[in-house]
Amino acid sequence: MADSDTPLGGRPGSAGVNPGEEKAEFLAALCAQVGATGKPWTARDPVSEPVIRAWCDAMADGNPLYTSPDRAAAGPYGGIVAPPAMLQVWTMVGLHLGGPPERAVEDTPSAGVYQLLDDAGFVGVVATNATYSYDRLLRPGHLLTGTQTLAEVSEEKSTGLGVGHFVTTETLYTDQDGNRVGSMTLRILKFRPGTGRQGPEDDTAEERPVRPRPATNRSTDWFWDGCRAGQLRIQACDDCGHLQHPPAVRCLSCGGADLGHTIASGRGTLYSWAVPHYPQAPAFDYPLVVGLVELEEGVRLVSNVTGVRPDQLNVEMPLELHWLDTDDDTTLHQFRPAAPRRRDSTLAAGELEVGHRLPLSPVPIDTLLIVSTALATRDFQDVHHDPDAARAKGTPDIFMNILTSCGIVSRWIGDWAGPDVGWQSIDLRLGAPNHPGDTMTLSGSVTAVKSADGHDLVTVGFEGANSLGTHVSGTAELVFGDLPGGEA
Ligand SMILES: [Zn+2]
């Protein structure tokens, strides 16, 4: 799905094939409102600390400028600010109470288009692109108004998900004084479920062969019992304290026979690795990385290294333990790139140059993350919490919403850049969906640096890849050093 240069393998640039009179009429109806601007739409509630905290909690964003009054008061903005990635959240419609009662479907030109598409069977929906620009910082008390323009409705396209139409909207956000605070260009695909290249009756989902069991015996059962209990046990000599792996019947240091074990922290580094290409065993995912992991306790062990492409591997890269439960009651130790730590002090202007790499960051995707972040971004669409509804709309399971993809990418970049970094814009293109059970690994590098007047405008190119391909790619523009023009 992600091997094309357009989202979801679509071909937005190609001409339709004999659209036919009916299709032409339908398209004309869809496009009737293109260029129209809806009524301004004021948020139900102002920007507030509790809503910021709920969002940071779901995204695991620990930037103290968002949640710690004391630290924020001492920071560059003199108080709490909202994460820029929350821009769209403030004017999201609620669940049961919706928005102000005067709001009607005809108030936004896109709502009418979505209704037409739903009625014609294009009930599947995914966001494919979003571009946010940030003009002013948002603080508690700011009351946002969004004004949406319907920018474009594509002709019928054939995409990996199904036949559908791309709908592009542009929303301008202002505060209670009419100051422009930011903008969003959002492109979504409304598609007809079951018409894609991989429909719901996908017969490639055959039962997977069981992974080969590790060889076990009475003298190593304690190790595999440990794995089942979530403990990576390393053999330890009771006499001299020597640690060794793989387990042996005697201490390899003093020859003692009284052997116990210690529990490894799960932190280590990559000592070496191999990438076997042939023959391939059907129970494994390829490319397969077999690593020699040096644990911080000092012993090395062989383990698969997951969530990372072979070209992203480096000797001594930090790794963290995770577990793989197989179908036959065996639990296997696995390693993946260690989640990077949040930087407490912000990088300074002049510290970055083109080619600087951001740390790899694996993001395990589970139902809790998808649902909690959907709620924290006030996105109540059923495809983000109801598996049956998601399947009825042409996807195999619930999937992460675009506001969360934006939030998680922003959190990772912010953790790398430091809490005081200024945000100008972020541009995201979505491809393969993030479903529960997958892992998305974020990677990126500095692609441009422009220096002026004590600050650097830095562009970061990024990608988040999962087992299906590229979930998200794009660019972010950040300001390091003195913020140009001060702050709002
Ligand atoms: Zn010993």
pLDDT in tens, 51-79: 999 999 999 999 999 999 999 999 899 99
Look at residue 177 and tell me whether its pLDDT is greater than 90: yes
DSSP state of 354: T
pLDDT given for residue 99 in this prediction: 52
pLDDT given for residue 211 in this prediction: 83
Task: Read off the tokens for 260.
Answer: 């116990």
Ligand 1 centroid to residue 234 C-alpha, Å: 13
Q: What is the mean pLDDT of residues 430-450?
A: 96
Ligand 1 centroid to residue 191 C-alpha, Å: 66
Ligand 1 centroid to residue 272 C-alpha, Å: 27
pTM: 0.87
Look at residue 5 and tell me whether its pLDDT is greater than 60: no
Ligand 1 centroid to residue 256 C-alpha, Å: 5
Ligand 1 centroid to residue 222 C-alpha, Å: 19
Ligand 1 centroid to residue 236 C-alpha, Å: 8
Query: 184 with 300: CB under 8 angstroms?
Result: no
- 142, 147, 153, 157: CA torsion to nearest 10: 10
- The per-residue pLDDT for range 214-270, each reduced to its tens digit, is 888 888 899 999 999 999 999 999 999 999 999 999 999 999 999 999 999 999 999
Ligand 1 centroid to residue 291 C-alpha, Å: 27
pLDDT given for residue 147 in this prediction: 94
Ligand 1 centroid to residue 238 C-alpha, Å: 7
Ligand 1 centroid to residue 155 C-alpha, Å: 74
DSSP state of 199: -
- The per-residue pLDDT for range 114-162, each reduced to its tens digit, is 999 999 999 988 899 999 999 999 999 999 999 999 999 999 999 988 9
Rg (CA), the chain: 26
pLDDT given for residue 104 in this prediction: 52
DSSP state of 458: E
Q: What is the mean pLDDT of residues 396-405?
A: 96
Ligand 1 centroid to residue 240 C-alpha, Å: 4
Domains of the chain (ranges, CATH numbers): 1-10+17-202 (3.10.129.10), 221-337 (no CATH)
Ligand 1 centroid to residue 233 C-alpha, Å: 17
DSSP state of 37: B
Ligand 1 centroid to residue 267 C-alpha, Å: 24
Instruction: Report the mean per-residue pLDDT for the chain.
Output: 90
Ligand 1 centroid to residue 242 C-alpha, Å: 5
Partnered with residue 466 across adjacent β-strands are: 469
Ligand 1 centroid to residue 303 C-alpha, Å: 25
Ligand 1 centroid to residue 243 C-alpha, Å: 8
Q: What are phi and psi for residue 459, nearest 5 degrees?
A: -105, 130
- The per-residue pLDDT for range 351-394, each reduced to its tens digit, is 999 999 999 999 999 999 999 999 999 999 999 999 999 998 88
Ligand 1 centroid to residue 316 C-alpha, Å: 28
Ligand 1 centroid to residue 245 C-alpha, Å: 13
